[in-house]
Amino acid sequence: MTIALELLAPAGNAQIGTDAIDHGADAVYIGAPRFGARAAAGNPLNEIAALVRHAHLFAAKVYVALNTILTDKELPEALTLIRQIHAAGADGLIIQDVGLLECDLPPIPIIASTQMHNASPEKVKFLEQVGFHRVILARELSLAEIRAIREQTAIELECFVHGALCVSYSGQCYMSQALAGRSGNRGVCAQPCRHCYTLTDGDGKPIVENKYLLSLKDLNLAGAIADLVAAGITSFKIEGRYKDAGYVKNVTAAFRQEIDRFIADTAGYRRASSGRSELAFTPDLSRTFNRGHTRYFLEGRGEKVGAIDTPKSLGKAIGTVTEVGHGFFRMKGERLRNGDGLCFFASSGNLSGLRVERVEQERIYSNTLEGLSAGQQLYRNRDHEFLRTLEKASAKRRVGVSLRFRQSENEISLEVMDEDGHQARASIQAGYAAPQNPEAVRRQTESQLSALGNTIYRLEALCIQPEQPGFLPLSTLNRLRREALEHLTRLRLEYYRAHAVTLTPNSVPYPEKLLDYRANVLNRKAEQFYRRHGATVAEPALESGTDPAGKRLMTTRYCIRHQLDACPKYSKRNPAPKEPLCLSDGKRKYRLAFDCRRCEMHVDL
């Protein structure tokens, strides 16, 4: 038996979801009309249903995110939405709020959002025992930690392989709520991690001023598919429900190729959906939005993961300025094109940008030269030609089919079988007319039956019997082909069956006994769930209106001391500064605490 590997892509809307499927995704995840962790990426139910139909044509899946914590007042509306999502044919529901498990849910597979802080074997085992179908793991886990989870569980494991990183463990960040009353657990994070801060030591002296000290590079685990599969991952997730279609097309196509290469080289694995994507471009992860790439903590702590100079996209390093002249500059590196967007760090340390207006031999004319000087590194953060390609129809996904045409005295028929083994047939009553030019008639028959261009199908084999068919009008052959393929399409949708799961409440013990605000309990049903599993909720979610003063706002594996080469364990080039260290945004101070045994940093108010 082979193991299916799933490439899971983001869908900010149904059209982007369709693009992701067409560019090779085995599944997409899309926001529900309300209550998704990306509040601005909600989608109407009719559009979700249309996306489901398109995905199911390729045996691909659609998961719907309804993964915020809910108030008692919101639960009834959320339940109504879940029933409508199930009726629309969705293949899974991504949730965070365990209060939903105390409700009468339809038989849709439940997926544990990464917002649930799925970082230990004990937590993942518990989620499996209470009925979750899949767990989305915390981004911070190493291969060794993923293997430990796999060894103690049998549940499907999904992990992120590309995209933006939250500096805090997901679901455990309360900074936005404390600062702006906008909670990430409610889908409206204000992204304080992308803001500017000053770091001071225990004497109040500045160590680093006006840097993006909580901003991280973007995750990129291309090249790690084999290691992740060996560790137990079967679903590879791309972050980005706020990203545009070009980004999703490029990244999806790139990881499709990564996973396909692994499958081709490794026995026992297969793609989780049908069809192959024909691309009009060569995927390149450096040519769309990125803040620089990191493998994060996949191999443990090592590389610096912060993007502390800018939270904006740098794109790809393309060369160095060699001369700045009157109205133009020269550079050594990659060729530029009109419309390219470039950026560089000015002498002030700030990121500056320019747009290429025209290129004449070695002279590059831009809309501005301010801050530009010889020796500066240039980055292309808008690849005009590449993005124009992605704005067009840049892929076509097709399912392989074999056709068998038969002709008798009174009937013609066309049998079609697709790569999944589905078979369909169409026939037309038509008399046999002996051809005057047998070779020309056969070529015409082959040509018309092979014309699959406007369908989702790709011809792999065609058999014509007899070898010298009788003459038929083109309209008759076209009708036969159309009816056979329409029948096949109906069969593909009819035979697709979403997995049905019915939850049965139990009293499996929760790994913890006493829960504070970090359990994110905002409704009575969630409190009831934990009580049934032997845990006491001592404090409601911070989103209930609890005063954040003195609270832990972040728990993160990212460490500022490590980033600044001042970690007493890993980087001893600089002495550890006097504690307590504090971050200041000009309005508030946040105290940093370091748990070196667990290799974590805490941000406290």
Residues of the chain with CATH 3.20.20.70: 3-165+217-287
Flag residues of the chain having pLDDT under 50. none
CB 290 within 8 A of CB 222: no
> Would you put residue 247 in left (φ > 0), alpha (ψ -120 to 50) or beta?
alpha
CB 217 within 8 A of CB 211: no
pLDDT of residue 533: 98
CB 554 within 8 A of CB 140: no
pLDDT of residue 498: 81
Quote the CA–CA distance of 540 and 530 in Å, as a whole number: 12
pTM (predicted TM-score) = 0.96
pLDDT of residue 568: 87
DSSP letters of 303-351? Answer: S--B-TT-SS---EEEEEEEEE-SS-EEEEESPP-TT-EEEEE-TTS-E
pLDDT of residue 308: 96
CB 169 within 8 A of CB 138: yes
Which residue in this structure is represented by tokens 């499958």? Answer: 263
pLDDT of residue 348: 87
* Beta-carbon count within 10 A of 357 CB: 15
Residues of the chain with CATH 2.40.30.10: 304-382
pLDDT of residue 191: 95
SS3 category, 279: strand
Pick 304-382's CATH classification: 2.40.30.10, 2.40.30.170, 3.40.350.10, 1.10.3720.10.
Answer: 2.40.30.10
Pairing of strands 329-333, 316-324: antiparallel
Q: Which two tokens stand for residue 78?
A: 């959320």
CATH class of the domain defined by 3-165+217-287: alpha beta
pLDDT of residue 292: 95
